[in-house]
Amino acid sequence: MTNNKEVLKWINEITELTKPSEIIWIDGSEEQKKEIYRKALESGDLMELNQEKLPGCYLHRSNPKDTARVEDRTFICLPTKEDVGPTNNWFEPEEAKSRMNKLFNGVYSGRTMYIIPFIMGHPNSEFGKIGFEITDSLYVVASMMIMTRVGKVATDMLKDSIDFVKGLHSVGTLDEKEKYILHFPEEKSIISVNSGYGGNALLGKKCLSLRIASYLAQKENWLAEHMLILGIQAPNGDTKYVAAAFPSACGKTNLAMINPPKEFEGYKTFTIGDDIAWLRIGEDGRLWAVNPEAGFFGVAPGTSHKSNYNMMETISKNTIYTNVLQTEDNTVWWEGMTDTPPEKGTDWKGQPWTPESGEKGAHPNSRFTAPAKQCPCVSPEFDNPNGVPISAIIFGGRRSKGVPLVYEAMNWEHGVFTGASLCSETTAAAEGNMGRLRHDPMAMLPFCGYNMGDYFAHWLKMGDLVENPPKIFHVNWFGKDDDGNFLWPGFSDNFRILDWIMKRCENKAEYTETALGYMPYAKDINIEGTGLDEETFDKCLALDKEALLQSADSYDEFFKDFDRLPQKIKEQISNYRKRVENM
């Protein structure tokens, strides 16, 4: 498939080390895809679902001890610990390679070695990055065929260039003590062993598209971000695009596929991406974004026709489901999918299940992997190699008190602080400390491939380089009243806030200046049809001085460990406290 000398040299080295019994190149053809699925069914890696109700869909069950990303076993391998920073795990590069050579010695013995050439981004686009993943997992091969553009298209784009990312993976023995997900940003390489779970094993996803890409972006003056990309079309046909970052459990995927409420007749929304955005400076001085992925790798529990109609339609065919409940009619189910659970089924561990079992039918982190182009609201610009121009960047967290529904940052520098200080309250299910603030700067805490203080500095630098930067906003859909009830209805009604954001991007909506930033007047948000009265909506926009001072204390505590925190961020932290104290 390729005559690239550097690629072939590397593959020969891996072959000698891992000693596979067979080598198969993935060429991206439909014929080969059918053969991969046939082998996966034969091996038990995949199980065929009801093809009448879920055409082209399959079920995968991972090892019960291998069901999620493992942050404590994920490492950045840069020369010094200072380069990695306080938010990442560090592994000295040469020591890491020595450890990996031992673990990969003969690891493919008796197994097939699959070589997957792939593109993150679009073919022949300046946004595109070419990678190779070598793996022994049929599940990985089948998933990468959905999540990336694989095969000859990648080797044709690479030609003789040495600019590619090396990815090496093995399910290994699933030894938890020897599980490693290693990133070598300077060498553009990734090594993952003893895990078969998506985020640890699909090396194009978080590993390349965020950890490696964020490092490259710093060097090359662009941004690799954990962001959705959404297009919003007005009745006159004018379309604007937003990129938005949310920590987990804050509604990111639902927003990526939002439908306007009926009160906004003539408006349309278009999904470009639900998870990752690469942003570069265009010739017009604006930031232009692409989604480097070709598929969705989403969390199943909580996804329903009510919460995300478009995603449910997307995953109705040609989808791989992981660790969900298998129903009696050989379809799938998970908690939150329907109001009434099935009477019985087979749970994610392969055990008989009923609602009375006392166990979850689907794992809380169960997943679906589906082609993005199946989405009913996929954007006509999805395959545009130049991407789309971004009018607004949105950060969002989960806060029950004090943080309003929406506010606009005063300028780029304040907007960077808004993203850097992003945090959410933990739920009862998360870490067992309900209400504690969990910081996740730009929703990139687990995914930044270098020192996060330097990452903030890079964001500040980008503000100087972008002639026409997007405006930056913060949203919070999760404010509660004193009885613990959500104040804002959420879901499609979140479009009402996007409407104000779009108007602000054209300076067509008024605002009032507050300690947090620029906020809307209640009259400028269309709440017709929400069922909210004016008093309740006023609470959605209310500021709570005590809660905001609590935030200031948490910022001081969180940022104190950043040895390379930019001075401008320090000033923003100080200015934030002063503004709140003077409320």
Which residues are identified as catalytic? 250
Read off the tokens for 566: 């930019």
Q: In this structure, how many other beta carbons lie within 10 angstroms of the beta carbon of residue 402?
A: 19
Pairing mode, strands 406-408 and 471-475: antiparallel
CA distance 405 to 489: 11
Q: In this structure, how many other beta carbons lie within 10 angstroms of the beta carbon of residue 437?
A: 17
C-alpha dist (Å) from residue 318 to 59, 372, 382, 437: 11, 11, 19, 39
Distance linking the first and last C-alpha atoms of the chain: 65
Read off the tokens for 2: 């390729």
CA distance 129 to 154: 9
Is residue 260 within 8 A of residue 493, CB to CB? The reply is no
For 289, the enclosing helix (H) or strand (E) is: strand 287-290
CA distance 169 to 143: 14
Three-class secondary structure of residue 412 per DSSP:
helix
The strand pairing partners of 118, in sequence order, are: 131, 150
Name which of 359, 353, 201, 374 is nearest 271 in CA terms.
Answer: 374
* Alpha helices (H) along 427-544: 452-465, 495-505, 534-540
